[in-house]
Amino acid sequence: MDRVSLDLADGAKRREFFARVGAESCDAVILSEGLLVYLSPVLVGELADDLSAHSSFRHWAIDLATPAIKRRVNRWWGRKLKQAQTQYQFAREQGTAFFTPHGWREAEFHALFEHSIRIKRTMRDVDF
């Protein structure tokens, strides 16, 4: 396994990297847990387009926040997020339908908070 440092906001470098990895792959799964919420909707759309441009990138596992979760997180952890020079940005009302025009379709959906309660692994200090 190789580690690569890559600024996903740099479209040219992102596409170059995806082209190289895409050519070396035949049935890749892209995992982006904990990433998309920190990106702008425009950047998430560009990322989705660039990933879908490669037929070897067949599956993409993502986690999504709702607009309500985005507001809560930015309110609860706003000071810490600001210190880290970030905030929750991507939380679309249409959920996974956002990705349809970018070449992706939902195969499965699992409600994060329902599952976290079921397995008794909720976020600390958060009242559901």
Q: Give domain limits for the chain.
A: 30-118
Residues 11-28: pLDDT tens digits?
A: 999 999 999 999 999 999
Q: Which two tokens stand for residue 65?
A: 């926040």
Q: Is the pLDDT of residue 126 over 80?
A: no
Residues 24-66: pLDDT tens digits?
A: 999 999 999 899 999 999 999 999 999 999 999 999 999 999 9
Q: Is the pLDDT of residue 128 over 50?
A: no
Residue 116 confidence (pLDDT): 80
Q: Is the pLDDT of residue 127 over 60?
A: no
Amino acid at 78: G
Of 65, 66, 78, 58, the closest CA to residue 33 belongs to 65
The 3-state secondary structure of the chain reads CCCCCCCCCCHHHHHHHHHHHHHHCCCEEEECCCCHHHCCHHHHHHHHHHHHCCCCEEEEECCCCCHHHHHHHHHHCHHHHHHCCCCCCCCCCCHHHHHHHHCCCCCCCCCHHHHHHHCCCCCCCCCC
Residue 122 confidence (pLDDT): 78
The answer to whether residues 83 and 90 touch, using CB atoms and an 8 Å cutoff, is no
